[in-house]
Amino acid sequence: MTDATDNAPSAPQISAEGLFLSFGKKEVLKNFSLNIGRGESVVILGRSGCGKSVFLKCLLGLLRPDDGKLFWQNRDLLKERGAPRELRQRIGMLFQSSALFDSLTVWENVAFGLLATKRMNRAEAYDVAIERLAEVELPPETALLSPAELSGGMKKRVGLARAVATRPEILLFDEPTSGLDPIMTRIIDDLILGSVKSLGATAITVTHDMQSAARIADRVALLHGGSICWQGGVDALAAPEDAGNPSLLQFVRGESRGPLALSAEKE
């Protein structure tokens, strides 16, 4: 069994130490610890509702842990005023539902961060939005459409264009391929890989999709019972029996019986 601190980089850009977070009586994060190095692509795997997205929201400052420490470049995000806001300006996030703003056109969605935080003028922001749309292989004609006119795959691509529009240092992907067909999944994976590489960004991805994880991850972490129960290289997904972790083995094989299922029944 690989220890939860193995493979952690020496100087983490992001570090979570013993995070606890409960919603009422339900403990979602329970002693959650994870280090992520600069430029690293980490995929967090886990069953539905195990708290994967909750960790991303803690990082964004949308949720505040009840206890524990969360560092960004050695700055304490839970104590230092202004640090969460500064971090947020360096993060781009692709939401599970794409979360495009209905009342805005596609280009306004893509350029939102540029208009809101970089205070760019609209003409300039439009040009940048067209460039970003081209990066995710969407033609300029889509710029004036509203999100309601887009397919699921197009929405994800617009969401990705919006996430990378401000050239962030850190990219967060929440279930980037959920609900997509295998071909579109592959396209989104390639776009994510391309974006992460071209920006040199740190990427944290939350997904159930094993194939997708194998393609985009440098390192994989398995979340179970509110904490990381295993983490290691992406090769372990191809040969989970070698990792010696029953939870990983069950998750990769998709078996209904095992430590993950037992725990779920207890919930």
Partner 1 sequence: MNTATRYARHGARFGGEGLRLTGALSLRFTAALGRLTLFTGRILSAVAPPWYGRNFVRQLIEIGYFSLPVVGMTAIFTGMVLALQSYTGFARFSAESAIPNVVVVSITRELGPVLAGLMVAGRVGAAMAAEIGTMRVTEQIDALEALSTDPFRYLVLPRVLAAVLVMPILVFIADIIGVMGGYFIATQRLGFASGSYLQNTLDFLEFQDVFSGLVKAAAFGFIIALMGCYHGYRSRGGAQGVGAAATYAVVSASILILTFNYLITEIFFAQ
Q: Is the dihedral of CA 208, 214, 217, 222 positive or negative?
A: positive
Which tokens hold the place of 247?
């939870």
Other Cβ atoms less than 10 A from the Cβ of 109: the count is 25
Beta carbon of residue 70, minimum distance to partner 1 (angstroms, whole number): 16
- Gap between the Cα atoms of 204 and 94, Å rounded: 11
Q: Which distant-in-sequence residues (6+ apart) come within 8 Å of 26 by Cβ?
A: 267
Beta carbon of residue 167, minimum distance to partner 1 (angstroms, whole number): 14
Q: Which is nearer to partner 1, 113 or 240 (CB)?
A: 113
Please give the single-letter amino acid code of residue 31.
N
Q: Which is nearer to partner 1, 79 or 119 (CB)?
A: 119
Q: Which is nearer to partner 1, 170 or 249 (CB)?
A: 170
Q: Which is nearer to partner 1, 163 or 228 (CB)?
A: 163
State CA 44 to chain mean position distance: 8
Task: Indicate the Cα dihedral angle 196, 199, 201, 205, nearest 10°.
Answer: -30
Q: Which is nearer to partner 1, 104 or 234 (CB)?
A: 104
Task: Indicate the Cα dihedral angle 107, 108, 114, 117, nearest 10°.
Answer: -160
Residues lying near partner 1 in the complex (CB under 8 A)? 57, 60-62, 85, 88-89, 91, 93, 95-97, 99-103, 112-113, 116-117, 119, 162
Cβ proximity of 80 and 23 under 8 Å? no
Beta carbon of residue 248, minimum distance to partner 1 (angstroms, whole number): 29
Beta carbon of residue 92, minimum distance to partner 1 (angstroms, whole number): 8
Cβ proximity of 254 and 60 under 8 Å? no
Beta carbon of residue 96, minimum distance to partner 1 (angstroms, whole number): 7
Q: Which is nearer to partner 1, 102 or 141 (CB)?
A: 102
Beta carbon of residue 9, minimum distance to partner 1 (angstroms, whole number): 25
> What is the rounded end-to-end Cα distance, in angstroms, of the chain?
25
